[in-house]
Structure 1
């Protein structure tokens, strides 16, 4: 909402020295978001005056029309003599009143004006267009003023060229601030000044001889006011003050009747629509559209209506989409295009906010009217707005207001809210007092009455009709607090209730991120959306369960209409973007939820918004939601250890991805088992299946070459993905620091020959079980294949660390534990001790 400061002063007597920035600061303190304060023509310097064209000489021999003029500027030039000016515009004639800037002036830009020789004549000044004066973008011709202004009149004041405009971002709950009336009310409260309410007008009561209107849908239209003005002069032009206020507010002047409806909308906040009565066939009707009905709106587009649309009709069919835009068949005609409109019906109605919002979105037809209706319009402002428009048509266009007044109003009971007088004190943690609370609520338009209920000081508050957002006591408390100033609310640290904090799952998730960050990974966050193209690039088979996704009804991007079932598409996309920007050595990770549809698809119920849903309703909603397990994934590319003068570095590979999974498992206090597997999108020979106990919790390894090529990633790019919920379900616990023993460790090495098909994880598990409780750690440090191991055989070398918690182990005890471990491996895997 653009608010000219000069217009705002008409309703609030602001101090004379207050600038736009001062007013903006007060409004921001009261809770409005003032984005900018625009200084209009701050660098403009006169003399800029009204001139009358006395003579015009058409100069020939040039590529464009050139006119040598003499213009009467009164005494503004100091001599009273006609001013000689050369001009290239052709839209004015002898006798017209124009705007003249004289030598010594400075136009917006800045653009200094001086007398100069041009086209063989002296040009002492310039005849101005709207764009040259900062009034708009129209540069096709100069401004022609009404004939009543005398030559020499100051045009700066006449055209209201110097002003300040506040640009306010109005939130959806503050729709009343999309009007000068609403912003003026906020300014009056902020300054503690009285408000001159433009809606306080004497309005005649409804009678039976107004224009006939039938409302068939009171739920969609609970108020409809119609007034008629006859004898309107179709040639009448909008006065300069009205045009300038519209221009400063961001609306282009069109014609007098349309300008008046726009002006009243900006002033009062009630959208209006004007019909040419001679083009309306029969009574006006308000009803829902029939599927397939059509209407050509004022923008010249034919639109197909649906049954949910609320429309204004006459006997010929729809003549307007209620609250959005009128129809071309009954629009006001300009006298320049033929016989102009002389009889006008003014519509001031109140439409259902949801209906208007959906219609505007459905037809892709946002308008100034729909923007206000969907945020809430005061239903009691319709009568005053219609009266204001009628008064302006009578005053400016010479029309006559008919005595008939149509006012169809559905019952609109006022709601009363009971609020403890000290509720704002308790919410803000300060003391306002009952008197301040009452005064502030009255300033926003509430009616306040006191009541003593069971010894409690209760205020019975009736919000005004223009504040549909005030629905409960805490809304009222917020009004008091914001008007008293958020900066006056004391800053106090809240008292933390004992016995609370992060849940164990939250602690685990934090440990996971810290562990990966400590290992050199950088966290990224991606959108949870995915499309078929991304799943194809990962090489998922047609029957892969990860292709079964939850589709969005209204996706942000048609190419990504579903929710992700794996973190890899977004993570690998982030990897590709960073590599494309020159970051070749990367190790990134992401934690987040994936969305897995349930076997039985259910439709989520629509829960009520006027009360708390029941437990059954919440359970039904939960049952319809997809499963959302939390996962962690990493991706690596380039060098894991950098090259330098010290030697060649080491590239990231599948082993780093597996180690990242182990890092996550250690944060959960879980030991992972790793075994070979095949699963897209990993390389079939370099893919590890990760198990916690007997449950598969994830996969890690090098990506398949086809996936790397499809995603344009570097060779050997590796990735890992682990289900954190499954990992924590299999033994996640509070992780403590390692115990430091005072007794020495006994180290024993063992090399076993096994069949090549035997996984190293099975051999390790057998050694661990056979070694018993004395085993502290086991590590595979060498894998050997060759003639010495035998065909189809491999050698696995392990280091076993033994330690007792209560004594120093003897050599015989360590050897016995080692032999027990080897025996278990021999029995379970067929291992043979190397060299035996």
Structure 2
């Protein structure tokens, strides 16, 4: 929000000596952060000049220029007339105009331009007669500024228009403008009225609300006012989309009348472009008071205005010339309830805009629901100054005062008469909420002492009504312009803000000691460290999928949908479901990397999934600011599905890179199994590895990891060829998915340290012949069980298939390491342990020792 300092002085008693920097510093104290400080880029000498002569001279290029002599008093140091060339034709001899003399500086798109005496069109032009655009006052470049017309009716300013006088202060080009950042909860500060109020809070300067006098001057509504009906309610939010609509009519208005210079100057300083008298007046009132207005051509309207929601299929052309399809949630102003003529609070329609033939104008000052306007502005990608204010909350009692000021300005500067008929249709009366506030609550919440009398004083200064003097609990009613004050903490924040944030002591909290990371956090960090150390990159993917992804992963779409949580408000209609597998979203990152030239990819993700075991339940809801009771909380928790954390791993391309040292090796099933195994080893979790064939894995090239109690840890292996083809992944892509929550639980009871044994280890080898279908993991488990407690390790080092093993059989060679903690084992003892292991394998899986 840009705040012209001179305009601010009209609303609050800013000391004459206060600079823009000091005003900005004062506003910072009450939470309005400074964004910038602006002054005109025009540098003098720019003076008032009286046109003495004007000699038109046609040129060969078809253009006519004027060779003019200008009386600039003693500003040029000689008192002689100043001769300049001017291409504009909207002035006459005797007019007063702004003249920039050599040495002056004008802002341009290419940077500052220093004016010099230069030869042009056969004359030596010693300066320029300036237009609005050249002085940075607007975009008008069709003609120069005629000061006598610009300030017509302003006798005080006209008296200052003496040839040679400095024109910068007359045009307001010497004034400062402060820009502040307005947070979304303080929409009332999108007006000079609101900023002035805050300046008064910051400095104690006297402030009188300008809306009070205007509201008192506004006439009461009459029975014969223009017909306005508010027929719209928001069934979801239980409030009116338009709670109040004020309509005032000015007849016989001269819309071509020029906007007074002081209004143009203020609009320009505030960052808006002057357009025409009706538009400029409505913008001026909006900037000054904070109430957006709209002006309709009365003759283009029917017998009434109806405010309602748009109907399906309705369209309208807005003032920017765009044909827009309306949404049933849009609030629209309609002509008699039939034809939309404006999107309420956002932008008017082309069919009723003010034109050069307009004589009678209807001024709209309404109060619209903030959420409705915000959604419409975003839906149509049509942010406007009006919607910016409505969506943050406009004072619901301000409309009559704003309409009165607009009518006064239009009549004064545009002629015409005010229609005595006044419309003020109220659908929903504004009622101030009553907020209970313990007098000592600000001190308890902020940690700084606030006396009860100071709390009452500050809240009263803010415009609140405070009842309950002498009682422990105050009853506070916020003012109409503060819709953000809803709870006791909101009031406490205001007390702390106005009293001064600098008065709140800075006390470092004492953190509790000895907690550190939880076991789950340590486990996740170990997993990430182990995989990153082996060259994998951690990613995060959005956890949303659609039915098409389930089908591509090889799952039955109906069964997958039954286990899937549907998102109530999905970011994309193509991905309305929460994932049931980390791999289902990780493949997007693989595809993205491969498409951008990274052919060798190793990725992992630690992310949440949600798979339903029963039909999805609906959670009950409560109003904002109401704490649910125990029963409601239990129902909410019951409706939330379990969200276990899974580890996903994907490898594509080469695992061992090729180069000058030789050929590389593509990633295969063994690599991804080894990665999972390394994670298990780091966590001290022992798992059984068996063959499995769940989708999306390749049957025969997939390993299943389970705990001794049968709990499933996860799977690792090569993705099914149909899956890689459906997703567009590289052939032979391998992957793994592991339930991290299972690993966290399993690793809680693991031994963290073992006693170091110094006695020598004894090795012995065995070769066991089993059927081809017997998994090696089952053989190893049997060997471990039979070898006893002195077995330190067992490893498979060879697999033989051939004539000596027999048809349909294989020979598995294991190396067993035995060690006793307190002695050296003898050969006989090791042989006995080996024989026990062989016997156990024979009993468990039918293994025979190969000789």
Q: Give the TM-score normalised by structure 2.
A: 0.85
Q: Distance in 1 between matches of 2:597 and 2:26?
A: 48
- Cα displacement (A) at 1:775: 3.0
Of 651, 660, 668, 2:675 maps to: 660
SS of match in other structure, 1:699: strand
Q: Do structure 1's residue 509 and structure 2's residue 524 form an aligned pair? A: yes
Q: CA 1:726/1:537 → structure 2, altered by over 3 Å: closer, same or farther? A: same
Of 179, 193, 197, 2:205 maps to: 193
Give the aligned partner of residue 831 of structure 1: 847
Q: CA 1:826/1:224 → structure 2, altered by over 3 Å: closer, same or farther? A: same
SS of match in other structure, 1:156: coil
Native 8 Å contact 1:206 1:404 kept in 2: no
Of 483, 489, 495, 1:480 maps to: 495
Q: CA 1:355/1:119 → structure 2, altered by over 3 Å: closer, same or farther? A: same
Of 435, 445, 451, 1:417 maps to: 435
- Cα displacement (A) at 1:474: 1.0
Give the aligned partner of residue 236 of structure 2: none
Native 8 Å contact 1:211 1:283 kept in 2: no
SS of match in other structure, 2:788: helix
Q: Do structure 1's residue 206 and structure 2's residue 230 form an aligned pair? A: no
SS of match in other structure, 2:767: strand
Of 60, 65, 77, 2:63 maps to: 65
- Cα displacement (A) at 1:103: 1.0
Q: Distance in 2 between matches of 1:780 and 1:753?
A: 13
Q: Do structure 1's residue 332 and structure 2's residue 354 form an aligned pair? A: yes
RMSD, aligned α-carbons? 3.9
Q: CA 1:287/1:684 → structure 2, altered by over 3 Å: closer, same or farther? A: closer
Native 8 Å contact 1:222 1:351 kept in 2: yes
Aligned ranges for residues 211-290 of structure 1 at < 5 Å? 211-217=225-231, 219-288=240-309
Q: Distance in 2 between matches of 1:521 and 1:773?
A: 37
- Cα displacement (A) at 1:269: 1.2
- Cα displacement (A) at 1:570: 4.2
Native 8 Å contact 2:66 2:88 kept in 1: no
Q: Distance in 1 between matches of 2:790 and 2:733?
A: 40
Aligned residues: 823
Q: Distance in 1 between matches of 2:76 and 2:473?
A: 70
Native 8 Å contact 1:535 1:547 kept in 2: no
- Cα displacement (A) at 1:762: 1.6
- Cα displacement (A) at 1:625: 4.6
Give the aligned partner of residue 719 of structure 1: 735
Of 119, 127, 134, 1:132 maps to: 134
Q: CA 1:451/1:809 → structure 2, altered by over 3 Å: closer, same or farther? A: farther
Q: Do structure 1's residue 445 and structure 2's residue 457 form an aligned pair? A: no
Q: Distance in 2 between matches of 1:647 and 1:245?
A: 76
Q: CA 1:535/1:545 → structure 2, altered by over 3 Å: closer, same or farther? A: closer
SS of match in other structure, 2:212: coil
Q: CA 1:584/1:426 → structure 2, altered by over 3 Å: closer, same or farther? A: farther
CA offset digits 1:684-728 (Å, max 9, x no partner): 554322323424332223456776678777776543221223444
- Cα displacement (A) at 1:614: 4.0
Native 8 Å contact 2:256 2:276 kept in 1: no
- Cα displacement (A) at 1:475: 1.0
Aligned ranges for residues 753-772 of structure 1 at < 5 Å? 753-772=769-788
Native 8 Å contact 2:346 2:384 kept in 1: yes
Q: CA 1:585/1:431 → structure 2, altered by over 3 Å: closer, same or farther? A: farther
Aligned ranges for residues 108-123 of structure 1 at < 5 Å? 108=107, 109-123=111-125
Q: CA 1:251/1:635 → structure 2, altered by over 3 Å: closer, same or farther? A: same
Q: CA 1:479/1:750 → structure 2, altered by over 3 Å: closer, same or farther? A: farther
Native 8 Å contact 1:668 1:733 kept in 2: no
SS of match in other structure, 1:77: coil
Q: Do structure 1's residue 349 and structure 2's residue 350 form an aligned pair? A: no
Q: Distance in 2 between matches of 1:291 and 1:709?
A: 43
Q: CA 1:210/1:824 → structure 2, altered by over 3 Å: closer, same or farther? A: same
Give the aligned partner of residue 178 of structure 1: 190
CA offset digits 1:708-759 (Å, max 9, x no partner): 6787777765432212234446x34255522123453444333333334332
CA offset digits 1:433-468 (Å, max 9, x no partner): 334433432333223345444xxx433322111111
Give the aligned partner of residue 30 of structure 1: 30
SS of match in other structure, 2:838: helix
Native 8 Å contact 1:41 1:161 kept in 2: yes
- Cα displacement (A) at 1:59: 3.7
- Cα displacement (A) at 1:469: 1.4
Give the aligned partner of residue 41 of structure 1: 40
- Cα displacement (A) at 1:825: 1.9
Deviates more, 1:353-362 or 1:113-122: 353-362
SS of match in other structure, 2:449: coil
Q: Distance in 1 between matches of 2:4 and 2:827?
A: 94
Q: CA 1:142/1:710 → structure 2, altered by over 3 Å: closer, same or farther? A: farther
Native 8 Å contact 1:743 1:803 kept in 2: no
Q: Do structure 1's residue 677 and structure 2's residue 685 form an aligned pair? A: no
Q: Distance in 1 between matches of 2:56 and 2:841?
A: 114
Q: Distance in 2 between matches of 1:824 and 1:753?
A: 13
Q: CA 1:71/1:528 → structure 2, altered by over 3 Å: closer, same or farther? A: farther
SS of match in other structure, 2:389: helix
- Cα displacement (A) at 1:37: 0.8
CA offset digits 1:370-407 (Å, max 9, x no partner): 33222211112222212221222233223444444443
Deviates more, 1:102-111 or 1:591-600: 591-600
- Cα displacement (A) at 1:70: 0.9
